[in-house]
Amino acid sequence: MNNTISKIGVFTSGGDAPGMNAAIRAVVRTSIYYKKEVFGIMQGYDGMIAGEIVKLGVRSVGNIIQRGGTILKCARSKEFRTPEGRKKAFDNLKKNGIDALVAIGGDGTFAGLKVFYEEYGIPSICLPGTIDNDIAGTDYTIGFDTATNTAVDAIDKIRDTAISHNRLFFIEVMGRHSGYIGINCGIAGGAVVTIIPEEDMTLEQLFNKLDEGGKTNKKSSLVVVAEGSKIGRAMDLAQKFAERNNYFDIKVTILGHLQRGGNPTYFDRVLASKMGVAAVEGLLNNKSGTMVGILNNQIVYNSFDTIINNKHLIDEEAIRISKILSI
């Protein structure tokens, strides 16, 4: 075990994700279990630069495992992208005696930490905290399960009113570059069409699919649209289809940041807890410069290069199943 580490800093960065608090709790309590001091860095990299650093204890993270968001707050930092900003951050860590870091966030967080690690050599490990589930080297990211469950719950409620009023709903879910939320919501919510960034669906294909429903007297339907759809967002697609539609009453619902909030599911709480323990133990066992992942229900450590240079690709089987079930 690496006995040179005595003080561990933990922070959350980028967008918040349900389960981040559970991860913070696990990092803090595991650090203390191994008789290490632990500090929370507020507001991500911006807080590191500004010196917003607080010591955390066992009771500091009591009653947070069930809470959404992050008690350490999140931010995206432009200044940290500069050598001057990173130098300020390092000086503040040094002033507080922090000699190891655990970062919880997405690919932008990891890219920043990789540069910082290469410049200053401070032992560092990342945890994948993002609702998009788009990080390579792990089957699941912290927050994905909760965000998808939140979206499916909303879609179920929308289906009730769609059936009652004979409506076609275009429902937009998060996913600028990844269709994981979209494809899983489409299957679980019974969508007639699911549009994700990874697929090259055309407007004509979309319209033909919806026209089929109209021809068979289908009076209500749901279309799930990931916000990164190549053919347009939900509002655009609804307007374009309305120009040629004479049988559906068309409505649009954009779920937006609703998906980021709320209490994490049991799955995200357990996943975050396992990863938080693994992060501290990884630091103490010289696995620095890595991200904790979970593959086939086993904890793994992936190098920064591996996770930054690759992407968690969408499951082609899920796309196939979605198409079969949407007839």
Write down the pLDDT at residue 247. 78
Q: What distances in angstroms separate CA 305 from CA 81, 132, 145, 289, 302, one per listed residue?
A: 18, 20, 26, 9, 8
Q: Does the pLDDT at position 107 exceed 70?
A: yes
Q: Which one from 46, 99, 132, 134 is the annotated catalytic residue?
A: 132
Q: What is the pTM of this model?
A: 0.94
Write down the pLDDT at residue 188. 96
Domains and CATH numbers, the chain: 7-143+264-308 (3.40.50.450), 145-260 (3.40.50.460)
* Active-site residue, 16 included: no
Q: End-to-end distance of the chain based on CA atoms, in angstroms? A: 57
Can you read off the two tokens belonging to residue 279?
A: 């992060």
Can you read off the two tokens belonging to residue 12?
A: 């959350």
pLDDT tens digit string along 172-229?
999 988 999 999 999 999 999 999 999 989 999 999 988 887 666 666 789 999 999 9
With bands split at pLDDT 50, 70 and 90, how would you rate the model's confidence at 246? confident
Q: Does the pLDDT at position 53 exceed 70?
A: yes
Q: Does the pLDDT at position 327 exceed 80?
A: no
Beta bridge partners of 195: 225
Supply the DSSP symbol for 309: S
Write down the pLDDT at residue 16. 94
Write down the pLDDT at residue 216. 67
Write down the pLDDT at residue 56. 97
- Coil, helix or strand at residue 38: strand
